[in-house]
């Protein structure tokens, strides 16, 4: 018979690996899909560019293709422990895909409230595939989250957005994994920022590892928003956020204050990148490092380029120690959001099935 007790790190999931750091007890039923333990990939071409060691934490290889699964395993396990029979979330796509999968795994229902017409194809498809009850609203993510907060108060649903502290607790395990692999924290950590839960979670994880003497330092946290959706950068609510990176199309982030604290306490920064920079970084990463991510994820890579090309000292890696180590989190898999690239695929025209025609088409 197949053994369920001898599990690899991967199939065990983040609760099994980091139980002592998470809000679970022996009584908590573990709802897991083997999330976490994602690759931290040394990136030679990015490192060459920055002349510092750059690593990519590839969260796109989680079970539903994004970092959300780390927090979802904890949030759903705890919700089941408390007797929940239905989950609810607002989402720009990835949270809903993850919530729907973990609800299916737990055998409970899941309601997802989404901004109509603004969810990337792959993510919406996931919510359908996992059997969620999907409601599209004429509004943006911020409207959806407002509705979810109200519905959550009725007690009929367990909210699994990152306003649920169990989500943040689960997501901090990504910082633990990075330290466990590098032997200490990196000097800089770059990541995209939308609702600001993830930057909050990483910062909590890094601090906790110092407190528990697993590491000697914390990195500076550098968060990147899209230019049309940069409320934290401008320090004001953006009523109509716009960006091609639909995952981070958010004008009023729930964890705004926590993100500000993480940036200030880590001597980091919040910055923004344009849609053009995001799409360039997405293609560059796929074609030079073999890592295909969704546009929102490429914001951290666009940020890295900005910070290595800039003359401005506040935005420059050229001034830091050469031995510095930099980690960029890429948050979601490229296949989730194929629309921008599908347009290029339409250029593909078939040729006759002969060696001569194929050779001509290769143009070599
Ligand atoms: N990258 C991706 C791929 C995301 O889906 C999100 C957020 C972020 C970055 C930003 O993370 O919100 O913690 O600052 N997606 C949420 C969702 C909002 O509904 O899937 P954050």
What mean pLDDT, rounded, does the chain reach?
95
- Pick from 137, 195, 281, 333 the residue to mutate for probing ligand 1's pocket: most ligand atoms within 8 Å of its CB: 195
**What is the mean pLDDT of the segment spanning 339-344?**
83
Nearest CA to ligand 1 atom 15: 247
- Rounded Cα distance, 184 and 135, in Å: 44
Task: Quote the pLDDT of residue 194.
Answer: 98
Check if 329 has its Cβ closer than 6 Å to any atom of ligand 1: no
**What is the mean pLDDT of the segment spanning 157-166?**
97
- Rounded Cα distance, 273 and 278, in Å: 7
Q: What percent of the chain has pLDDT over 90?
A: 88
Task: Quote the pLDDT of residue 341.
Answer: 84
Check if 331 has its Cβ closer than 6 Å to any atom of ligand 1: yes
Strands (DSSP E) along 236-290, which ranges?
A: 269-273
Centre of ligand 1 from the C-alpha of residue 247, in Å: 5
Check if 122 has its Cβ closer than 6 Å to any atom of ligand 1: no
Tell me the per-residue pLDDT of 218-233, one tens digit each, with 9 for 90 and over.
999 999 999 999 999 9
Tell me the per-residue pLDDT of 249-275, one tens digit each, with 9 for 90 and over.
999 999 999 999 999 999 999 999 999
pLDDT of 1 strictly over 80:
no
**What is the mean pLDDT of the segment spanning 35-42?**
98
Task: Quote the pLDDT of residue 10.
Answer: 67
- Pick from 72, 193, 248 the residue to mutate for probing ligand 1's pocket: most ligand atoms within 8 Å of its CB: 248
Nearest CA to ligand 1 atom 19: 91
Centre of ligand 1 from the C-alpha of residue 78, in Å: 21
Q: How confident is the model at residue 3 (pLDDT cuts 50, 70, 90)?
A: very low
- Pick from 61, 92, 270 the residue to mutate for probing ligand 1's pocket: most ligand atoms within 8 Å of its CB: 92
pLDDT of 176 strictly over 90:
yes
Q: How confident is the model at residue 320 (pLDDT cuts 50, 70, 90)?
A: confident
Centre of ligand 1 from the C-alpha of residue 65, in Å: 12
Task: Quote the pLDDT of residue 32.
Answer: 98
**What is the mean pLDDT of the segment spanning 54-83?**
98
Centre of ligand 1 from the C-alpha of residue 192, in Å: 8
Q: Which atom of ligand 1 is nearest to the CA of 162?
A: 13
**In 3-state terms, what secondary structure has residue 284?**
helix
Q: How confident is the model at residue 347 (pLDDT cuts 50, 70, 90)?
A: confident
Check if 193 has its Cβ closer than 6 Å to any atom of ligand 1: yes
**What is the mean pLDDT of the segment spanning 241-248?**
97
DSSP letters for 35-81: -----EEE-HHHHHHHTSEEEEEEGGGSTTSBTHHHHHHHHHHHHHH
Tell me the per-residue pLDDT of 275-292, one tens digit each, with 9 for 90 and over.
999 999 999 999 999 999
Tell me the per-residue pLDDT of 189-217, one tens digit each, with 9 for 90 and over.
999 999 999 999 999 999 999 999 999 99
Task: Quote the pLDDT of residue 11.
Answer: 77
Six token digits for residue 296 = 């929102």
Centre of ligand 1 from the C-alpha of residue 16, in Å: 24
- Rounded Cα distance, 85 and 171, in Å: 23
Centre of ligand 1 from the C-alpha of residue 253, in Å: 10
Task: Quote the pLDDT of residue 364.
Answer: 65
Tell me the per-residue pLDDT of 102-147, one tens digit each, with 9 for 90 and over.
999 999 999 999 999 999 999 999 999 999 999 999 999 999 999 9
Show the 3-state SS of 169-201: HHHCHHHHHHHHHHCCCCCEEEEECCCCHHHHH
Beta-sheet pairing, 53-58 with 40-42: antiparallel
- Rounded Cα distance, 149 and 161, in Å: 9
Check if 251 has its Cβ closer than 6 Å to any atom of ligand 1: no
Task: Quote the pLDDT of residue 247.
Answer: 97
Centre of ligand 1 from the C-alpha of residue 364, in Å: 42
**In 3-state terms, what secondary structure has residue 155?**
coil
CA atoms within 13 A of residue 134's CA, in its CB half-sphere: 23
Centre of ligand 1 from the C-alpha of residue 162, in Å: 10
CB under 8 A, 24+ apart: contacts of 136-141? 137/113, 139/115, 140/115, 140/240, 140/241, 140/249, 140/250, 140/251, 141/90, 141/91, 141/92, 141/115, 141/195, 141/249, 141/250
Which phi and psi (to 5°) does residue 97 adopt?
-60, -45
Nearest CA to ligand 1 atom 4: 247
Centre of ligand 1 from the C-alpha of residue 95, in Å: 7
Pick the closest to residue 60 from 275, 251, 332, 277 (CA basis): 332
Centre of ligand 1 from the C-alpha of residue 20, in Å: 26
Check if 195 has its Cβ closer than 6 Å to any atom of ligand 1: yes
Least confident range from 21-35, 74-88, 336-350: namely 336-350
pLDDT of 2 strictly over 90:
no
- Rounded Cα distance, 247 and 96, in Å: 11
């Amino acid at each position: 018979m197949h053994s369920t007790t001898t599990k690899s790190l991967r199939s065990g999931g983040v609760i099994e690996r980091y139980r002592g750091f998470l809000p679970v007890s022996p009584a908590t039923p573990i709802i897991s899909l083997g999330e976490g333990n994602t690759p931290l990939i040394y990136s030679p071409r990015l490192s060459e560019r920055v002349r510092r060691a750059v690593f990519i934490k590839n969260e796109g290889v989680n079970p539903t293709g994004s970092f959300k699964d780390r927090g979802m395993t904890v949030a759903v396990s705890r919700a089941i422990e408390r007797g929940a029979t239905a989950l609810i979330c607002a989402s720009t796509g990835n949270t809903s895909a993850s919530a729907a999968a973990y609800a299916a795994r737990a055998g409970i229902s899941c309601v997802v409230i989404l901004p109509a017409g603004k969810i990337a194809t792959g993510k919406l498809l996931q919510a359908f595939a996992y059997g969620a009850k999907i409601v599209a609203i004429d509004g943006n993510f911020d409207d959806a989250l407002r509705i979810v907060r109200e519905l959550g108060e009725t007690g009929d649903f367990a909210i699994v957005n990152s306003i649920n502290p169990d989500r943040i607790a689960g997501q901090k395990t990504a910082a633990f994994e990075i330290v466990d692999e590098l032997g200490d924290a990196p000097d800089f950590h770059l990541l995209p920022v939308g609702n600001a839960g993830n930057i909050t979670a990483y910062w909590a994880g890094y601090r906790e590892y110092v407190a528990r003497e697993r590491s000697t330092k914390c990195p500076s946290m550098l968060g990147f928003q899209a230019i049309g959706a940069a409320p934290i950068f401008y320090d004001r609510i953006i009523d109509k956020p716009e960006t091609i990176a639909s995952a981070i199309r958010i004008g009023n982030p729930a964890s705004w204050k926590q993100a500000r604290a993480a940036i200030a306490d880590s001597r980091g920064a919040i910055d923004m990148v344009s849609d053009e920079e995001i799409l360039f970084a997405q293609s560059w990463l796929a074609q030079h490092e073999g890592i295909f991510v969704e546009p929102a994820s490429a914001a951290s890579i666009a940020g890295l380029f900005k910070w290595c090309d800039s003359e401005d000292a506040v935005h420059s890696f050229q001034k830091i120690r050469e031995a510095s180590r930099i980690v960029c989190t890429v948050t979601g898999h490229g296949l989730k959001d194929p629309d921008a690239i599908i347009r290029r695929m339409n250029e593909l025209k078939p040729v006759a099935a002969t060696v001569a025609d194929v050779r001509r088409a290769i143009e070599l």
